Structure 1
Amino acid sequence: MGHAQAVPLFASFVRAGFPSPAEDYIEGSLDLNRHLIRHPAATFIVRVEGESMTGAGIFPGDLLVVDRSVEPRDGHVVIAAVGGELTVKRLRGRPGAWRLVAEHPDFPPIVLDGDADDPSAAVWGVVTSAVRRLAGGG
């Protein structure tokens, strides 16, 4: 993962309404690698392309932190291999009867397990975090 760089973590909350006087208190430092990545050997990051998960707050260009050590469950957002490509969708159902469901009405569900057309289709990992650049460099 490279060199870890801790950044300050302020103890006060940021208001999304009218501003209030800021408190000059730093709670400590936050190492984003340690905060976002629980199992480094089982974790990878992918960049989102497409609009199928905008209803879940996942947008094109977002970086998704994916942990392969987390057991996929109904309701998890997952990365799955389907038709030789990776896709991000919400997992619905149960083992042996999984469906990949988009969070956008223009995209139909995908049956994952038992799909005779694509026996290699499988969940690759569970999305644990999303990172989005709001402003600034590239």
Structure 2
Amino acid sequence: DPIEPIPQTERIEVPKSMLGRGETFALRVKGTSMRDDGILPGDVVVVQKQDMARNGQTVIALLNGEATIKTYHRKAGMIELHPANDTMTPILVHETDTFHIEGIVVGVIRHLKR
């Protein structure tokens, strides 16, 4: 899984500047698919909950029951989810797939190891 929920017992300080209008939530990144955009394993992404996205926005999406973080692109009626990692290929969303945008990534929180 590329992302995981933050346990309810863990508290995360989110800067007010990352909190827009509406509901936000946080997820921990597990994979390297967005590394070239500076989103690394162990990072926490702050997500504004919404079910629509514009081209080029980084989204949290559910694809066939699996949560993923990718850059959203829609062209000619097709949806593509692009990784920011040149060793990985874009995911094409087909009509037979179950697809839903959970939200837009609005910030990244990283704790540096001491």
Could you tell me the TM-score, scaled by structure 1's length?
A: 0.65
Provide closer, same or farther for how the CA distance between residues 95 and 60 of structure 1 changes in structure 2, counting only shifts above 3 A.
farther
Q: CA deviation at 1:36?
A: 1.7
Partners of 2:52 and 2:81 in 1: CA distance = 16
Which structure shows the bigger proportion of residues in strand conformation? 2
Contact 1:69 1:125 in 2 (8 A): yes
Q: CA deviation at 1:72?
A: 0.9
Q: Give the alignment of 1:48-127 within 5 angstroms.
A: 48-69=29-50, 71-94=52-75, 96-112=77-93, 115-118=94-97, 120-127=98-105
Partners of 2:15 and 2:51 in 1: CA distance = 17
Q: CA deviation at 1:60?
A: 0.2
Which residue in the other structure is 2:20 paired with? Answer: 38
Which residue in the other structure is 2:3 paired with? Answer: none
Which residue in the other structure is 1:130 paired with? Answer: 108
Partner AA of 1:98 in structure 2: I
Contact 1:99 1:111 in 2 (8 A): yes
Q: CA deviation at 1:111?
A: 1.8
Deviations 1:91-137 (A, max 9, x none): 1124842210001122211123xx2442x21211110000000135x
Contact 2:59 2:103 in 1 (8 A): yes
Could you tell me the TM-score, scaled by structure 2's length?
A: 0.77
Partner AA of 2:23 in structure 1: A
Q: Which runs of 5+ in 2 are unaligned?
A: 1-12
Aligned-pair identity (%): 31
Q: Classify the secondary structure of the residue corresponding to 1:93.
A: strand
Provide closer, same or farther for how the CA distance between residues 70 and 130 of structure 1 changes in structure 2, counting only shifts above 3 A.
farther
Deviations 1:29-74 (A, max 9, x none): xx944222123x5211110011111011000000001112484100
Partner AA of 1:59 in structure 2: L
Q: Which runs of 5+ in 1 are unaligned?
A: 1-30
